[in-house]
């Protein structure tokens, strides 16, 4: 399969390495000549261009990877779909719900794949959390919260909600498989006007479950963590851990006995264990999933719809953050 990639920054290079291994990386495109030259030296068999239009005009090119700056994602993904290409577009695929809806309609009309790059959905640790929840190992899920904090990288084109929150939100929506009926965000722009560095989000779902996200690039802790609190057990996915990515805590509250005179809630603490998580590179799994969708296996419609759900909730959180 012939793949062309636009955007050869630090993240784009990771994608290019994988697509070069898994398919034929036929085109490299970047508006910056220095980045293009650097990529050309790594992947000498690929053709190079600074023009996205030139790349997508190649009739033999089947798929396009968009790893450019966030505000360009929608426009470039649209151009590639209009040229009849399958599209992998880095997160977030668009910055407005109506834009992603338009991309989905276009992909359906042209019978093409539109896959937003939600990397964590391909992380074996997140897969394990999902399995635990679906198998009801944790009992009823009550709440989920994400911590994504660090000092830097300070972005200028997008705020902490769009840069960091997109990851946790994709995981929370995947785990709970519901769309929130309430979405509230509070935050502040300390360093650059209009670009929030610290954001706290609250989501409430129709089932009554709640979720929270703490997103910040102004923080002493480097945290990449999702915690799921179930009625019977609790589980944590910690991407900073090397070999204890998921920990399950057999802990829960115990109801007072019926008729007890001094009925008090107690807590139960059992084993703490860490299931084995395969060490596969999530990005490799994600790129493989895209190529499989192009080859016709998997549910291409669902992958695109899941991405749209993330954009819809991000848009609502942005309205809340803006005070609307």
Ligand X SMILES: NC(=O)c1ccc[n+]([C@@H]2O[C@H](COP(=O)([O-])OP(=O)(O)OC[C@H]3O[C@@H](n4cnc5c(N)ncnc54)[C@H](O)[C@@H]3O)[C@@H](O)[C@H]2O)c1
Residues binding ligand X (CB under 6 A): 6-12, 29-32, 35, 52, 67-70, 72, 76, 90-91, 117, 119
CB of 284 to ligand X, least distance (A): 13
CB of 29 to ligand X, least distance (A): 5
- Which of 78/233 has CB closer to ligand X? 78
CB of 107 to ligand X, least distance (A): 19
Distance of alpha carbon 273 from the chain centroid: 26
CB of 90 to ligand X, least distance (A): 4
- Which of 33/84 has CB closer to ligand X? 33
* Three-class DSSP labels, 101-165: HHHHHHHHHHCCCEEEECHHHHCHHHHHHHHHHHCCCCCCEEEEEEEEEEECCCCCCCCHHHHHH
- Which of 9/206 has CB closer to ligand X? 9
Q: How many CB atoms lie within 10 A of CB 216?
A: 20
CB of 176 to ligand X, least distance (A): 21
Query: Per the structure block, which two tokens stand in for 29?
Result: 């495109």
How far apart, in whole angstroms, are the C-alpha atoms of residue 88 and residue 90? Answer: 7
- Which of 101/239 has CB closer to ligand X? 239
Bridge partner residues of 28 (DSSP): 5, 48
- Which of 46/248 has CB closer to ligand X? 46
CB of 25 to ligand X, least distance (A): 15
How far apart, in whole angstroms, are the C-alpha atoms of residue 89 and residue 172? Answer: 20
How far apart, in whole angstroms, are the C-alpha atoms of residue 113 and residue 61? Answer: 14
Query: Per the structure block, which two tokens stand in for 317?
Result: 């959180």
- Which of 18/68 has CB closer to ligand X? 68
How far apart, in whole angstroms, are the C-alpha atoms of residue 315 and residue 120? Answer: 20
What single DSSP character describes residue 192? Answer: B
- Which of 69/178 has CB closer to ligand X? 69
Q: How many CB atoms lie within 10 A of CB 108?
A: 14
- Which of 6/285 has CB closer to ligand X? 6
CB of 150 to ligand X, least distance (A): 13
CB of 159 to ligand X, least distance (A): 12
Q: How many CB atoms lie within 10 A of CB 258?
A: 6
How far apart, in whole angstroms, are the C-alpha atoms of residue 35 and residue 24? Answer: 20
Q: Kindly provide the residue ranges of all beta strands, DSSP E only, lying in the chain, ordered along the sequence.
A: 2-6, 24-29, 47-49, 63-66, 86-90, 114-117, 141-151, 182-188, 198-204, 210-216, 218-230, 234-238, 246-254, 266-273
């Amino acid at each position: 399969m012939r793949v062309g990639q636009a955007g050869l920054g630090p993240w784009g290079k990771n994608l290019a390495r994988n697509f070069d291994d898994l398919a034929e990386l036929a085109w490299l495109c970047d508006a910056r000549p220095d980045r293009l030259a650097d990529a050309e030296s790594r992947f000498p068999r690929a053709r190079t261009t600074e023009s996205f239009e030139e790349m997508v005009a190649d009739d033999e090119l089947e798929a396009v990877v968009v790893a450019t700056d966030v505000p360009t994602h929608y426009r470039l993904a649209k151009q590639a779909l209009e040229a009849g290409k399958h599209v992998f577009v880095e997160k977030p695929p668009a910055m407005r719900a109506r834009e992603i809806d338009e991309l989905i309609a276009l992909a359906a009309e042209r019978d093409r794949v539109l896959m937003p790059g939600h990397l964590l959905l391909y992380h074996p640790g997140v897969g394990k959390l999902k399995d635990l929840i679906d198998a009801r190992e944790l009992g009823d899920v009550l709440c989920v919260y994400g911590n994504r904090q660090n000092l830097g990288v300070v972005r200028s084109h997008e705020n902490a909600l769009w840069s960091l929150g997109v990851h946790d939100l994709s995981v929370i929506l995947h785990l709970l498989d519901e769309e929130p009926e309430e979405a509230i965000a509070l935050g502040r722009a300390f360093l650059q006007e209009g670009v929030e560095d610290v954001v706290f989000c609250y989501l409430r779902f129709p089932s009554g479950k709640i979720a929270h996200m703490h997103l910040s690039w102004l923080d002493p802790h480097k945290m990449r963590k999702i915690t799921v609190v179930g009625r019977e057990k609790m589980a944590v996915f910690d991407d900073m851990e090397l070999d204890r990515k998921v920990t399950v805590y057999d802990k829960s509250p115990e109801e007072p006995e019926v008729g007890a005179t001094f009925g008090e809630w107690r807590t139960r603490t059992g084993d703490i264990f860490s299931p084995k998580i395969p060490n596969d590179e999530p990005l490799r799994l994600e790129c493989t999933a895209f190529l499989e969708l192009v080859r016709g296996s998997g549910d291409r419609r669902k992958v695109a719809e899941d991405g749209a759900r993330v954009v819809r909730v991000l848009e609502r959180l942005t309205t809340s953050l803006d005070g609307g």
